[in-house]
Structure 1
C-alpha cells in the first residue's frame, strides 16, 4: 500500500499543472459541497444505459435504498413483515419498549420473593407522632439472609438514618432556631453512630459516638466500654454484637421512633429520643459449640440496662438453613444542652442526661458489653436466664418505656 512519501502513478512523465494543488479536503469542504460524488454503481449503470437505456416500465430500485441507518440493522423473526410506517410510530415504540421491560421486571420481582402479598403491611415512613397502638399482626414467615425482615412488622419500617426524622426547629429559651437545629442534628448523629454504624454493629469500638459527647459523658462511656459490668454495660446505649456469637446478615437497620425537644428553664434545653432499632443476625462460630456457665440473672436491672427479654418458644430450624434471628432494641435517651452563659459547656458536644433501654429476643444475664441474640440452638439451654417478667410486644412503642428498670427478664410475643 503506498504511503504518504511514495510517488503516485505517472510521476515519471512530464509534470502537468494540478488544478487541485493547494486544495484542503477538510470537514468544512465536505460539508460545503453542493454536489455529492455518485456511487460506483451509479456510474456503472449510467455508462451501461448511455447507449441502451432500460425500458420505461421496468422495475428498478433507487440507489439510495442501500444506505440504511444503523439502528435498523437488526435480525427480524422469520416471516415478520417489514415495517411500513416509521416516524412518530417508531418513536413511540422506542419509548414503550423499555417501559414494558421495567414493568415486567417489577412484576417478576414482586411475585418471585415467595412472600404472600397479604402478609405485607403498608410501607411506613419516618414517624411523626407516637402510634396509638401496636403494629398489626403479620403472617408468620421464616426469616432468611435474603429476606431478613419476613414475618416482622419491621418489614414495612424505614431503614437507616433517613428513617429517623427530626422535628422542625424553633427557638427555645436562649437558643435560637439555628442553634436548636444544630443540637437536634447532634442528637441524631449520636444515635446513628451508636446504633447504625456497620462497624460498631460488627463489634467495633463506637469512637464516633464517644467523640460527640462532652468530657464528662465521654469519660463515663469510655469506662463502660473498657470495663463493662451489670450496672455499667455499654450495650445499654450502643448496639454491638460480638462476632463470635452474632453476625449481622445485612448492614440495614430498621427503625421507628421520635426525637422531640423542650425548654428546660434555667438548665437550657432537653432533647428526648425514643427509638426502636431492629437488627437481623445469624449465629457466630461459637454459638452451639459449648455451653457457657449460667450467669447470675439480673433480678433488679438498673436504669440504663436492658430488660433482656427472652425469646419466643423454641422453633426447630430447617436442616441446612441459616438461622436468622432479629434483635429488637428500644432506647430512650435524654440529651441536655445547657445555656453557655450560665454553665461551662463544650460547643457542639452532647451531654447525656440519662438513658435506658429494652433488649428483646436476647439471652438474659449477659453483661459483657455486647448484645446477645437468642438463636434456636441456644433456646431452652442453661445459657438463658430464668424468666420472671411479663410477656411484651417488642414492636409496640405506643406505650412508654419502663425507665424504672425494675422489670425482670420476660418473654417476647413475637420477633
Structure 2
C-alpha cells in the first residue's frame, strides 16, 4: 500500500468559485479511514527520512539488508572478514585471532591419547607398531608332522598385558588343551585299556614337567619325579641337587630362576602331538613332540646375574646312564620368592622350548619294571630359543631386551633358526645342538 509523502501547500487555484474549500464538508469517520488507499508516515519515519537526505546511515557491520545487493562470493568456503565499529559508528581495527589456542588444544588431545596408550607409544618409539594387527587365528593341536613353519605375524612388543603379541603361538592351545591322546589300540602284549593308561601317564608327566607353576617358578618338580621309574628318578633328582654340564635338569624340566625371570600368569602356549607304536620286544613306544612357549617378565635381579662365557670345547650329548653328583654351579631354588606386581605395560619376553621325548613300556613278563612308571627310550632330545647358552645351573635364562648389555663379541654367532618351525628335525644333544650357540629369527 503506498505511503503518502510530506504534504505540500495546496495552491489557491484548486479552490472552488467563491473561495470555498472543497474538503470543508469532508467527514473523516471510521468508515472513511478504513477505506483510505494511502497511509501517512509515522512521525519517526518522516524524521529519519529527512535526516538521511543529508547524512546517509552507516552500516555497523554483521547485518545485511535487501538493499545491500548480492553477497560477495567466498573463496574456498572462508568467511569474509567483517570490519568492527564502535558505538558511534566509527571503524576500529580488528584483532587477529590468536593461533596459540588451537595449537594448545591439539597438543592436549595428543598428550591424553598417549597417556591412554602408553604401550602403543613405546612400541612406536622403539620401531614397533601399535596394536593394529588382526588377532592370530586359532590353531588346533597337531595330528601329523607339519611341513612348514607357522606363518609370520605382525611384529609387536610383548607386555604383561599382552604377553603373546607378535607371536605365532598366540593362536596355539593353552597348556593341557594341546595334549590330545590318540585312540588306544591293543599293541604288543598290552591291551587297549593298558595302552590308554600308558598314554594318560605320559600326558600327566608332560604337564607336571613343563606346566607346573611351582616348577616353572624354580621349585622342585616333585609330581614329575614321582612318575619316573627308579633309575630315571634317581638320575633326574641328582641333576636337580647338583646341576652341571653333564647332568642338567633342564633336559627333563622347564624351570626359571625367579630372581631373574617370572612367568606371566598361568598360561603356557603348547603345540605338538603324541603317537605310539609297538617295539621289537612286544612293548609299547610312545613318542611325544611338543613345543612350549613361556611368557616371562623380568625379576628383581634381571640383568644382574653373571653371564657365562662360551666354552672352548663343543658341548657333548648327555650320557644315557645315571651321573654321579658333582659340584653345584648354583644353589637350587626350592621355594617361590614372592615378588611385587608390575604394570600391564612392562616389557616381557618369551622362551620357546621344544622337547622330543620317547617313553618305553617294557613287557613286565620279560623285564623287572614297574608298568605304572615311565622310562625314557633312545632319541630323546630338546632345544630352546631365546635363552642363555652354556649355563648349567638348572634353569633357563631368557634375554630381556631392556637389560641386554652384551657386547657384539658376547652375542651368539651360530646359525639363525626359527624356534616355531616344528617341521625341522632336532639334533640329539644337550639343548645346545652341536655345541654352537645360535640365534633365533623370532621369539
Shorter chain as denominator, the TM-score bin is 0.5 to 0.7
Conservation of the 8 A alpha-carbon contact between 1:293 and 1:383: no
Shift of 1:356: 1.4
Shift of 1:231: 1.8
Runs of 4+ aligned residues of structure 1 deviating over 6 Å after TM superposition are none
Cα separation, 2, equivalents of 1:235 and 1:295: 19
Conservation of the 8 A alpha-carbon contact between 1:388 and 1:409: yes
Structure 1 residue 252 corresponds to structure 2 residue 267: yes
Cα separation, 1, equivalents of 2:276 and 2:408: 41
Matches within 5 A, 1:14-33: none
Cα separation, 1, equivalents of 2:313 and 2:167: 29
Secondary structure of the 1:359 match is strand
Structure 1 gaps of 5+ residues are 1-111, 306-318
For residue 166 of structure 2, the aligned residue among 119, 138, 151 is 151
Cα separation, 1, equivalents of 2:205 and 2:185: 21
Cα separation, 1, equivalents of 2:219 and 2:396: 13
Cα separation, 2, equivalents of 1:338 and 1:241: 34
Matches within 5 A, 1:28-67: none
Counterpart residue number, 1:409: 437
For residue 295 of structure 1, the aligned residue among 303, 309, 315 is 309
Counterpart residue number, 2:190: 175
Conservation of the 8 A alpha-carbon contact between 2:150 and 2:421: yes
TM-score, normalised to structure 2, is: 0.61
Counterpart residue number, 1:272: 287
Cα separation, 1, equivalents of 2:190 and 2:280: 12
Shift of 1:169: 1.0
TM-score, normalised to structure 1, is: 0.65
Change (3 A) 1:164 1:276: same
Change (3 A) 1:208 1:356: same
Cα separation, 1, equivalents of 2:294 and 2:405: 22
Counterpart residue number, 2:414: 389
CA RMSD of aligned residues (A): 2.4
Superimposed CA distance per residue, residues 327-377 of structure 1 (whole angstroms, 9 cap, x where no aligned partner): 000011111100001000113100122431111011122110011011114
Q: Which structure: larger Rg? A: 2
Conservation of the 8 A alpha-carbon contact between 2:163 and 2:348: yes
Cα separation, 2, equivalents of 1:361 and 1:353: 28
Aligned length: 288
Conservation of the 8 A alpha-carbon contact between 1:294 and 1:385: no
For residue 254 of structure 2, the aligned residue among 239, 243, 248 is 239
Cα separation, 2, equivalents of 1:197 and 1:383: 36
Change (3 A) 1:243 1:175: same
Shift of 1:227: 0.7
Cα separation, 2, equivalents of 1:376 and 1:384: 17
Matches within 5 A, 1:1-150: 115-118=131-134, 120-150=135-165
Cα separation, 2, equivalents of 1:259 and 1:320: 36
Conservation of the 8 A alpha-carbon contact between 2:161 and 2:344: no
Structure 1 residue 347 corresponds to structure 2 residue 361: no
Cα separation, 2, equivalents of 1:389 and 1:299: 15
Counterpart residue number, 1:334: 358
Cα separation, 1, equivalents of 2:355 and 2:408: 25
Cα separation, 2, equivalents of 1:185 and 1:281: 29
Conservation of the 8 A alpha-carbon contact between 1:387 and 1:410: yes
For residue 346 of structure 2, the aligned residue among 282, 306, 322 is 322
Cα separation, 1, equivalents of 2:305 and 2:255: 22
Conservation of the 8 A alpha-carbon contact between 1:304 and 1:356: no
Counterpart residue number, 2:212: 197
Secondary structure of the 1:265 match is coil
Shift of 1:407: 4.7
Cα separation, 2, equivalents of 1:384 and 1:228: 27
Superimposed CA distance per residue, residues 191-246 of structure 1 (whole angstroms, 9 cap, x where no aligned partner): 11010011111111001000001101101000111111112111122111110010
Conservation of the 8 A alpha-carbon contact between 2:357 and 2:376: yes
Cα separation, 1, equivalents of 2:202 and 2:150: 26
Counterpart residue number, 1:369: 394
Cα separation, 1, equivalents of 2:366 and 2:207: 30
